[in-house]
Amino acid sequence: MSGILYIISAPSGSGKSTLVNELRSIVPNLDFSISYTTRPPRGSEQNGREYYFVTRPEFERMIAEDKFLEYAEVFGHYYGTARRFLDEAKASGKDLLLDIDVQGAEQVRKKVPDAVSIFVMPPNKEILERRLRRRSQTEKMDPKVIERRLENAEKEIVNYKKYGYILVNTILERAVDELKAIVLSERTRRSGKTLTAEDQELARIAEGCLLARSHDKVQPVLQSFRTNL
């Protein structure tokens, strides 16, 4: 079965981009959607690689023509995921992975109810802050941006119950294995084929990441943010 839509969300600094890149290198037939935005390119960013950079009138025309699965305005700029990527993936016999925030994920789930949703958490607030500060040295990030991202992380994390699977990115290799298991086991489950021993092992790993089984690993993360939801 092709055309499965995978949604992955995470607070900035949780290691989501690294996980996505690793997943795409080891799982075949998985397309990745590049977002559209009205903000100008930064540094070495190229059109069609990090984002599709368009004008505000062009983006609003696409909204009017219902060409987005989801979109939002953030800090004065639009960001959105075009429907065409899912159509193209289905037509080519592939699945599609969306890297989007919790607001966008909610919009997509309404339009594609059978989408597989995955939320990635940092091990705790202290490690997240350390990762963001390390990144800030490379990107020359304003300290105020770090504080804003930490505040946003707390707001985003409380939405974890809206996702089907939860990953806590403590050890990268393990998180990659779990993400791979989720994607492949969902493919197998929806195909209806008889499970091999390997399929059963992947299903076991994926089931351990289900929201219903994630309470014990999620609570320490929430407590580090002083969030008990």
pLDDT 10s digit of each residue in the chain, 229 long? Answer: 578 999 999 998 898 989 999 999 999 999 999 999 999 998 888 999 889 999 999 999 999 999 999 999 887 899 999 999 999 999 999 999 999 989 999 999 999 999 999 999 999 999 998 888 887 766 666 777 788 888 888 889 999 999 999 999 999 999 999 999 999 999 999 998 899 999 999 999 999 999 999 999 999 999 998 754 4
Beta strands in 83-133 (DSSP E): 95-99, 116-121
Domains observed in the chain: 5-33+95-224 (3.40.50.300)
Of 49, 101, 115, 33, nearest to 72 (Cα)? 101
The pTM for the full model equals 0.90
The DSSP symbol for 105 reads: H
Report the C-alpha gap between 10 and 23 in whole angstroms: 15
